[in-house]
Chains A and B, each alone.
Chain A
Amino acid sequence: MSIMTIYHLVAIFLLCIGLFGIVYRKTLVGIVLGIELMLNGAGLSIMASAQLTPTPNELGQVGALLVMGIAAAEATLLLAILLVVSRRFKNVEAGKLVTMRG
């Protein structure tokens, strides 16, 4: 097993545990935590693919930086959406949000 495979398996673990969290958690905040785990796994995978193969290193580092930027943008927007949802519905449980009109 090459060293890159170990990094990729860690990234796959992060993806799978994130998916598990998305299905398992009841509140929207718990789901957001799962999404962050998955995004982090994506960054790790991109980084390992570029650093540990003859691919130019800059490609992977810039890719990981872009993933981080997207994660930051996504977290900001999700905070705003969570605030609006919790004001309108008085809770943030995914199973109880069944309508688009508050």
Chain B
Amino acid sequence: MDNLLNENLAWAVLFGHIAIIVAGGFITVLSESLIRALMGLILTLFGVAGLFFLMAAPFIGLMQILIYVGAVSVLIFFAIMLTNAWPGGDEHGNISGKKVIYAALAAIAPAVFLGTAAIRTAPPSIFTPDETQVSELGQFLLEPYILPFELISLLLTISMAGAVLLVFERRKKK
């Protein structure tokens, strides 16, 4: 009985988070104001973080909240503020029907192919995944996966240096 209750709760949490993700996704792409679109993105990110928690990976869920909601969203917020992309500004105005058709085609084509592939070729899945200790994750990252770990740090360094360089060069010319 208790088990059944837990299972029902898990389904409710799953579909609740999927509803949050879908609503956030539509707000992100359809909202006229970019600030509202960013809020929709944050809603989606929280929904995905909830799915990570549901898959018994609380560490990745917390990282999702820390990195995406904490850092990436703030960066995009800066981008909106610094580029004058204001509501009633760039994103405003009627959008031609042709563009909507192209956008819908771009969305539906991969949905059909990947959706049928995902449904037809799905392997049997585990219903209750095990939780992984963070120490095991660190061991995995430092022993067999040391090369991707070093490469991602290199990538981050290069991109930060590139970002600083891009903005500095313009200032010098002024």
Question: Which residues does A use to contact B, with CB under 8 Å?
Answer: 1-10, 12-30, 32-34, 36-37, 40, 43-44, 47-48, 51-54, 56-62, 64-66, 68-88, 91-93
Contact = CB atoms under 8 A, between A and B. Distances in A.
Given A68-B63, A79-B75, A86-B83, A3 B145 contact: no
A56 B139 CA distance: 13
B68 A68 contact: yes
A80 to B, nearest CB: 4
Interface residues of B, dominant DSSP: helix
Interface in B99-137: 99-100, 102-104, 106-108, 110-111, 114-115, 118-119, 122-127, 129-130, 132, 136-137
Interface of B: 14, 18, 21-22, 25-26, 28-30, 34, 37-38, 41, 44-45, 48, 51-52, 55-57, 59-60, 63-64, 67-68, 71-72, 75-76, 78-80, 82-85, 90-91, 95, 99-100, 102-104, 106-108, 110-111, 114-115, 118-119, 122-127, 129-130, 132, 136-137, 140-141, 145, 148, 152, 155-156, 158-160, 162-164, 166-167, 170
B29 to A, nearest CB: 4
Given A10-B21, A76-B160, 10 more contacts: A2-B122, A8-B122, A15-B114, A21-B29, A22-B106, A32-B76, A33-B76, A47-B55, A75-B71, A86-B83
A66 B103 CA distance: 29
A33 B38 contact: yes
Nearest to B47: A10
Contacts of B95: 24, 26
A84 B162 CA distance: 12
B24 to A, nearest CB: 9
Most chain A beta-carbon contacts within 10 A, residue among B34, B90, B156: B90
Contacts of A51: 55-57, 126, 129
